[in-house]
Amino acid sequence: MARSKDRPWLMRTYAGHSTAEASNELYRRNLAKGQTGLSVAFDLPTQTGYDPDHVLARGEVGRVGVPVSHLGDMRRLFQDIPLDRMNTSMTINATAMWLLALYQVVAEEQGADLGKLSGTTQNDIIKEYLSRGTYVFPPGPSLRLTTDTIAYTVASVPKWNPINICSYHLQEAGATPVQEIAYAMSTAIAVLDAVRDSGQVPAGKMGDVVARISFFVNAGVRFVEEMCKMRAFTRIWDQVTRERYGITDARQRRFRYGVQVNSLGLTEAQPENNVQRIVLEMLAVTLSKDARARAVQLPAWNEALGLPRPWDQQWSLRIQQVLAHESDLLEYEDIFAGSTVIEAKVAGLVDEVLAEMDHIEELGGAVAAVESGYLKAQLVASHAERRARIESGEEKIVGVNSYTETEPSPLTADLDTAIMTVDPATEHRVVSALHDWRLQRDEERAQRALSALKSAAAGTANLMEPTLECARAGVTTGEWSWALRDVFGEFRAPTGVSSAPVSTGGEEGSSLASVRAKVSRTAEDLGAGRLRLLVGKPGLDGHSNGAEQIAVRARDAGFEVVYQGIRLTPEQIVSAAVAEDVHCVGLSILSGSHAELVPDVLARLRRAGVDDIPVVVGGIIPSADAKVLVEAGVAAVFTPKDFGITEIIGRIVDEIRQANKLDPLEVSA
Q: Tell me the catalytic residues.
A: 14, 168-169, 537, 541, 543
Paired strand residues for 118: 87
Task: Please provide the distance, in angstroms rounded to a whole number, between the alpha carbons at the two ends of the chain.
Answer: 72
Cα separation, 337 vs 613, whole angstroms: 61
Cα separation, 130 vs 376, whole angstroms: 5
145-184 b/e with 16+ CB inside 10 Å = b?
bbbbbbbbbbeebeebbbbbbbbbbbbbbbbbbbbbbbbb
Parallel, antiparallel, or unpaired for β 532-536 and 295-297? unpaired
Cα separation, 324 vs 330, whole angstroms: 7
Cα separation, 360 vs 186, whole angstroms: 7
Give the up-direction half-sphere exposure of residue 190: CA atoms within 13 A in the CB hemisphere: 29
Say how many residues make up the chain: 669
Q: Of 616, 606, 637, 608, which is closest to residue 554 (Cα–Cα)? A: 616
549-583 b/e with 16+ CB inside 10 Å = b?
bbbbbbbbbbbbbbbbbbbbbbeebbebbbeeebb
The answer to whether the CB of 497 falls within 8 A of the CB of 555 is yes
Cα separation, 327 vs 319, whole angstroms: 11
Give the up-direction half-sphere exposure of residue 614: CA atoms within 13 A in the CB hemisphere: 22
CA dist 430 to 105, 380, 425, 446, 503, Å?
Answer: 22, 37, 9, 20, 45
How would you write 136-161 as a 3-class SS string? CCCHHHHHHHHHHHHHHHHHHCCCEE
Cα separation, 44 vs 589, whole angstroms: 12
